[in-house]
Amino acid sequence: MSDAAAPTGEVLSPSQVRCFMDCQMRWWFKYALKHADPATGKMALGRAVHAALTQNFAQKVETQEDLPMTGVVALFRDAWAREREQTEFRDDEDPAELGACGEALVSKYMDEAAPLIEPAAVEMRVQGELGGVRVQGWIDHRFEDRGTKSPAGSNPITGSRSRPMHN
């Protein structure tokens, strides 16, 4: 089930539905006419943080160890440099300030959250059908719960959970 082969609106993703609910005209421009919104600094920051954390978790699936924090911050800096080149910063967005914020976010996440996460898979494409409508999306990472109790939102049979790294 490929989006390229499907007519506009035949296969939906959560972001498409959210866009449509926010503004139908924006959805039409973005998905039917292929005129995406220009990337803002905050969008670029989110993608750069996501890229760095994804690389950490992708290797952690194999090694069960996080990369050193300095390594993940360096991955963020590389991703941020690429994002900056493609971004239209708003007047109230300072690229240097956003970069420093991203480094702080990555550092805090690596210090507090990443050690608790045991990923089983990273960047999983999912697709299916809901109420006769084809849907697709991505799960940032799926992790295994190794504790004795299944936390809220987990599958009590397998102990596995899927969770986005961001909202």
Q: Is 123 left (phi over 0), alpha (psi -120 to 50) or beta?
A: left
- Residue 160: the pLDDT is 46
pLDDT per position as a tens digit, 49-85:
999 999 999 999 999 999 999 999 999 999 999 999 9
Band (pLDDT 50/70/90 cuts) for residue 11 is confident
Structure-model confidence comparison of residues 106 and 16, the more confident one: 106
In terms of C-beta density within 10 A (0-12 exposed, 13-18 middle, 19 or more buried), how is residue 52 classed?
buried
- Residue 48: the pLDDT is 97
pLDDT per position as a tens digit, 19-29:
888 998 988 88
pTM of the full predicted structure? 0.71
Percent of the chain at pLDDT exceeding 70: 80
Q: How far is 39 from 23, CA to CA, in rounded Å?
A: 18
- Residue 31: the pLDDT is 86
**How confident is the model over 31-47, as a mean pLDDT?**
89
Task: Tell whether the model's pLDDT for residue 148 goes beyond 80.
Answer: no
Task: Tell whether the model's pLDDT for residue 98 goes beyond 80.
Answer: yes
Structure-model confidence comparison of residues 133 and 162, the more confident one: 133
Q: What value does the mean pLDDT of the chain take?
A: 83
Structure-model confidence comparison of residues 137 and 149, the more confident one: 137
- Residue 167: the pLDDT is 41
Q: Are 100 and 84 in contact (CB under 8 A)?
A: no
